[in-house]
Structure 1
């Protein structure tokens, strides 16, 4: 009888690999968006500004991240946990983020959208795939090779927050960006909770993309007051997330075994 085991990862996870991917992603996005010559605060002025200022970088990053993940052989651990959290009730935190996104969309001035502008803004949904795969996908795989789950949550969420400082280099005000960094840390915690509660990064990718799209949408035309309330809900929810994230961390068994595979001789399979 022949015994089979799961295929090993092509590249053994290391923290430095995750950090290199994180830095490379930021450098790529910054380079493409800077090359467009369109300041961050002018993306919403036209469909062309939005597509070339933000959309192109996300499309390129999506392709390169898919290639990178395939070369590493990390798709499975990047997208799925071995086990869902034993405490799943903290999922109310990302659910409230979804509610806030719906509030944003309800308050959006859709009459100010042209067909071309809406098509260009749809590309922003890719941010859910790229940023989640980098920060709570590949980075989690790398961090789980050496660290406990508490540090995995904190470091991945902190790096996600700090990554937003590149907006300053694209023309965003430093003070506003600092608030965005803090809000992103809270949002990252909510997305981490969603991954642990469902056992999959896919739902976090979807929620992240919808949330960012909804935030941008409120900046077009004149948003209703409900959009301002949505931001308060988002921040409050993020703070609550900090209070309950320990429950999805507790008992986690996601540490990756990165020990070398045993040496084999000959064909490696004996027939009886």
Structure 2
């Protein structure tokens, strides 16, 4: 693995990528003039207010990861954790199915559906930024409990940017739920041995949450929310067992910088 790295992982590099991602995404979304609470009003709002920034961020993150040579440590674990905590991500997947079942699909038009598909890119951008590149940098120096905690806290903190178009109370609630969701995605990575499945779950989850809030939600929407809450509580308990015995810290010697 170490021979493929062009740049030795360092904490500051992971943090710099995290900050850079926020600056790029926030700047593009701010320039669009679309407030966060107006994203769901039309396909153009959703695309220019969120989708465009995700497309640009995807290209920049893929280029950055390639230049660093960090694809393998960003996407794959050396050792998988115990398997049973996968229950938390499974419950989250069930919750998103309820979201999709409860979606008012009749309220969709072609433009909004197309823009919604672009939102799937958030699974790549936010995961590769936090539980990919940031995680790789943190593992160069910190223990795994700090890696989980910091990646989840900073993932939650990302959502503070939504306060520009959303009430502060609602934003803080979103930050807390994002921290819990980040723990679920961390569990996916550790249990499956790859970040790829976390990307898939993350992208589908965000797609489902935009879908269910567009139009009039069906009567089963509350069931999805309840199941997701159970998944989060279970994840906060199970994460200790996922962290226990982790041997992912790396200090590779490379021919690069």
Q: Does 1:30 align with 2:13?
A: no
Q: Does 1:157 align with 2:152?
A: yes
Q: Which residue of 1 aligns with 2:73?
A: 77
Q: Does 1:200 align with 2:191?
A: no
Q: Which residue of 2 aligns with 1:124?
A: 119
Q: Which residue of 2 aligns with 1:101?
A: 96
Whole-angstrom distance in 1 between the partners of 2:18 and 2:146: 17
Q: Which residue of 1 aligns with 2:235?
A: 241
TM-score using structure 2 length: 0.97
Q: Does 1:50 align with 2:46?
A: yes
Which secondary structure state, in structure 1, belongs to the residue aligned with residue 3 of structure 2? coil
* Moved >4 Å (runs of 4+): none
Q: Does 1:252 align with 2:250?
A: no
Q: Which runs of 5+ in 2 are unaligned?
A: none
Of the structure 1 ranges 59-68 and 115-124, higher mean CA displacement relative to structure 2 is found in 115-124
Q: Does 1:59 align with 2:55?
A: yes
Whole-angstrom distance in 2 between the partners of 1:178 and 1:258: 38
Q: Which residue of 2 aligns with 1:226?
A: 220
Whole-angstrom distance in 2 between the partners of 1:247 and 1:6: 27
Larger RCO: 1 or 2 (CA < 8 Å, sep 6+): 2
Q: Which residue of 2 aligns with 1:88?
A: 83
Q: Which residue of 1 aligns with 2:168?
A: 174
Which has the larger Rg? 1
How much has 1:117 moved relative to structure 2? 1.1
Whole-angstrom distance in 2 between the partners of 1:237 and 1:140: 23
Which secondary structure state, in structure 2, belongs to the residue aligned with residue 7 of structure 1? helix
Whole-angstrom distance in 2 between the partners of 1:146 and 1:21: 17
Superposition RMSD in Å: 1.4
Whole-angstrom distance in 1 between the partners of 2:245 and 2:92: 25
Q: Which residue of 2 aligns with 1:16?
A: 12
How much has 1:258 moved relative to structure 2? 3.8
Which secondary structure state, in structure 1, belongs to the residue aligned with residue 67 of structure 2? helix
